[in-house]
Amino acid sequence: MTLKEIAWLVDSSAYMSNTLKNHPDVFTIPLNIHFGLEQFVDGIDLTPEQLYDRIRNGTESIKTSQPSAGEFAVLYEKLSKEYDSIIAIHVSKSLSGTLSSSISGAQVAQVQVEFIDSLSLSAGITGLVEKGLQLQEEGLSYEDIAAKLREMTSKFRNYILIGNLTQLYKGGRLSSAQFYLGSLLKIKPIIQITPQGELKELDKVRSHKKALQYLINKAVEATDKDGLKHVYIMHANAEQQAIDLKEAILQQAPHLQFTIGEISTSLAVHAGEDTVALLWYL
């Protein structure tokens, strides 16, 4: 039997664009979501609507966990029988243990895999896989593709507007005082994934309107200075807000192309409802 060329593996923190969703060689391994003692599988037995309802009305703690090494091992054994090579691209190792679990799984299965730390999440992973598929069509070897994608991670830019402070507070990322003052003053945090793949607070903006203008300015600036051509707008149950943001940017950068999508439930656990993000590669 002739093996297929490259299997692409991502975790469920990735945004599954139409290109990825419909591609027969792209596979997803889900993260887990925990509500107290209950466990759900990201994207399988918990809908976004159910998640946001529990975030709004639930009192139990919410957290996520990576797939086990055993789950990865089973998948790698299967893929190795069907493909010549495997490239795995995962959420930043500074944000999750998923990459480490993936590496351990490949070692258990004794399968050779090219691992890439995306140093990002969501559409950051999407952009890498879409570029990798393009390079594959151009005839590059899987080792050369992986090398180029690792170089590409340094070109990732992102600006994340937290829509609701409640989930940051519930998740322990805000103290009671910070939550109270932030809500009272209507402060909107802008956070960013650094080039090292870590989350940091970039700015605090008073009022939602000013925060959206902050995002608009960043996209327009990148278009003027860096020749930006394509932007991902990711949102957490805020599609109309994402559409409005796109239209506002287009008024100043009419040639920009956009992909709008919803973040996975595993990311929404941390970001919370109404979060909107701009992400792109230069």
**Could you tell me the domains of the chain?**
4-154 (3.40.50.10170), 156-281 (3.30.1180.10)
**Other C-beta atoms within 10 Å of 135: how many?**
17
In the predicted model, is pLDDT for residue 36 greater than 90? no
Q: What does the buried/exposed string (b/e) look like for 211-225 if buried means 16 or more CB atoms within 10 Å of the residue's CB?
A: bbebbbebbbebbee
What would the pLDDT profile of 231-257 be if each residue is shown by its tens digit? 999 999 999 999 999 999 999 999 999
Q: If you ran DSSP here, which 8-state letter would residue 14 be given?
A: B
What would the pLDDT profile of 54-102 be if each residue is shown by its tens digit? 888 876 778 899 999 999 999 999 999 999 999 999 999 999 999 999 9
Cβ distance 153 to 115 under 8 Å? no
pLDDT at 189: 84
E-assigned strands of 168-268?
Answer: 187-193, 199-206, 230-235, 257-262
Cβ distance 122 to 234 under 8 Å? yes
